[in-house]
Amino acid sequence: MGNKKERKVIIVDQNDNNPWWWLVNKGLGASFLCISLFALLVRLAVSLHPYSGAGNPPKFGDFEAQRHWMEITINLPVKEWYRNSTANDLSYWGLDYPPLTAYQSYVHGIFLKSFLPESVSLFTSRGYESYLGKLLMRWTVLSSDVLVFLPAVFYFVISYSASRPHRHKSEIAWLMAMILLNPCLILIDHGHFQFNCISLGLTIGAVAAIISSRELVACALFTLALSHKQMSAYFAPAFFSHLLGRCLRRRNPFLEVSKLALIVMGTFALVWWPYLHSKEAFLEVLARLAPFERGIYEDYVANFWCTTSVLIKWKKLFNTSSLKLISLAATLSTCLPSMIQQIKDPSNKGFLYALLNSSFSFYLFSFQVHEKSILLPLLPASLLALEEPLVFRWLIHFGLFSMFPLLCRDQLVLAYIALFSLFYLLFYAPRKKDSGKIRSFFTLKLLITTLLVFCSFVLHIVYLAMNPPKRYPFLFEAIIMLVSFTQFVWLALYTNKKQWMLQKQSTWVEKEKKLL
Instruction: Report pLDDT digits (tens) over 235-289.
Output: 999 999 999 999 999 999 999 999 999 999 999 999 999 999 899 999 999 999 9
What pLDDT does 442 receive? 47
What pLDDT does 516 receive? 43
Angle between helices 436-465 and 475-515 in degrees, nearest 10: 170
What pLDDT does 299 receive? 78
Neighbours of 16 (CB within 10 A): 9
- Scanning 81-186, the segments in alpha helix (DSSP H) are 99-115, 131-144, 150-163, 169-180, 183-186
* Residue 153 near residue 204, CB atoms below 8 Å: yes
DSSP state at residue 4: S
Instruction: Report pLDDT digits (tens) over 138-153.
Output: 999 999 999 999 999 9
Kindly indicate the confidence band of residue 449, based on its pLDDT and cuts at 50, 70 and 90.
confident
Buried b (16+ CB within 10 A) or exposed e, 88-101: bebeebbbbbbbbb
Kindly indicate the confidence band of residue 224, based on its pLDDT and cuts at 50, 70 and 90.
very high
> Please, how many CA atoms are within 13 Å of residue 382, restricted to the half-sphere of its CB?
30
Q: What integer best gives the mean pLDDT of the chain? A: 89
Four-CA torsion 361, 367, 369, 373, nearest 10 degrees: -40
CA nearest to 503, candidates 343, 270, 377: 343
pTM: 0.91
Cis peptide bond N-terminal to 98, omega within 30: no
